[in-house]
Structure formats: C-alpha cells, structure tokens
Structure 1
Amino acid sequence: MAQVNFRVDDSIKERAESACTAMGLTMSSAINIFLTKVANEKRIPFEVSVDPFYSEEHIAMLERRIADMKAGKKVHEHELIEAE
C-alpha cells in the first residue's frame, strides 16, 4: 500500500476531519474514496469552478467602492450588498 503526503491549511484539515467524523469516516478513508472515484471515473468527482467573488471585475468594483468610502463619499448599504 502506498503512502501519500501533502500539505493542507490547518483550518481546512480541522474542518474536514470534523466533517469526516460526523459522517463516520476517517480522513484517510475519505481521501481513499476520493482517489478511487478519480481513478475509476478519470475526472474530479465534483464541479471545480472559480468563486465569482474573486473575479477581476468584482475585485475592481470593490476597490472602487472602498476608494469612494475613503474619499468621504457616502455609500449606501444596499450598494455594498449584491442582490440575486
């Protein structure tokens, strides 16, 4: 049996371990399930996408609003919250 080592943020590891425990799994078994799915299906078994919050457009808009606030322009709360 092979051993795989990798680094992960401490907070993510703690939250993942907690979720695995709640599901009755060890972290090792959860990672084995993931790798088995990748090996069998030859794909990541969930959607991988970019969070739109971090898009260049959105970051630029936030930077403009921050600059407006720093310049003393009144910014209304509803301008800061994106409604769906």
Structure 2
Amino acid sequence: MLDTGEKKVSISVKTSPADKKRAAEIFDSLGLNLSTAINIFIKKSIAEGGLPFEVKDPFYSEANQAELNRRFKKVTNNQNVHPHQLLDNEEQ
C-alpha cells in the first residue's frame, strides 16, 4: 500500500558514522537510500507485529553450547588439560 497522500514526518536516529556509512553502502548496492531502507524496515515491522527478524545472542547458539559443554567435560575429567599462567598474573 502506498502512502502517497499522507503527510510525512521525520524520525531522528543516532548511530555511529561507520555504521551509517556501511549501511548506506549496502543499501546503495540494492538501489535504496537510507530513508527508503528504514521505511521498508518500519513497514515490515508493522506487518510482522514486531521485529522482522529474530534477535538473539549467538553465544547461546546450539553449536556454541555443545562446544562449551564438550570443553567443560574435558576439564571436569582432567582430560588433556594443561595449566597456564595468565599474562596479567606473570611473576616479575
């Protein structure tokens, strides 16, 4: 649905200059400017009734958790575990 007859309002968004530049380059390669890309995001969010993508922390991914569990079991069973000294705890 086009909003050709509706009055437009401005939205101010704060981001880093580097992120703005990178996003502008990506959208430019798609034939979009930042304003159009942000409007697409807003329209898609409205259609979805929330963010149009999943927001999650990759730390808790299934693969990462499996690797952490594997390493924890090795430490628990003293398998192939070698002590080391932390750099900030070096004796002088």
Establish whether TM, by shorter chain, passes 0.5.
yes
Q: Distance between the aligned counterparts of 1:12 and 1:49, measured in 2?
A: 20
SS state at 2:86 partner: helix
Counterpart of 1:40? 47
* Superposition deviation, residue 41 in structure 1: 1.3
Within the alignment, does 1:72 sit opposite 2:79 as a pair?
no
* Runs (5+) with no aligned partner, structure 2: 1-7, 60-84
Q: Percent identity?
A: 29
Within the alignment, does 1:15 sit opposite 2:15 as a pair?
no
Q: Which is helix-richer, 1 or 2?
A: 1
The number of residues matched between the two structures is 60
* Superposition deviation, residue 51 in structure 1: 4.2
| Larger-Rg structure | 2
RMSD: 2.2
* Runs (5+) with no aligned partner, structure 1: 53-66, 74-84
Q: Distance between the aligned counterparts of 1:40 and 1:2, measured in 2?
A: 20
Residues 17-66 of structure 1, C-alpha deviation per residue, up to 9 Å, x if partnerless? 010011111111100000001111111011111242xxxxxxxxxxxxxx
